[in-house]
Amino acid sequence: MAEGDEDRLKDLIAWANRGPSAARVERVDIRWRSFTGEYFDFRIVD
C-alpha cells in the first residue's frame, strides 16, 4: 500500500512492473483510493 503524489505513485508502479533484472513480474494489482494522510513512513510488512 502506498500513498502520496500521483506522479510519484505512477513512478512506483512502473518500477514495480519492471522488477529486478533477473525477475519476471506477472502482475501488479492497483486500486486507486482517496488520499487519507494515514501513511507517513515506509515499512515492509510480512
At 13, is the pLDDT very low, low, confident or very high (cuts 50, 70, 90)?
very high
The predicted model gives 23-32 an average pLDDT of: 93
Between residues 34 and 43, which one has the greater pLDDT?
34
How many residues belong to the chain? Answer: 46
Which residues are CB-neighbours of 35 under 8 A, at least 6 positions away? 3
CA distance 18 to 25: 7
CA distance 18 to 1: 18
Give yes or no for residue 46 having a pLDDT over 70. Answer: no
Q: pTM for the complete prediction?
A: 0.70
All cell numbers assigned to 17:
512492473
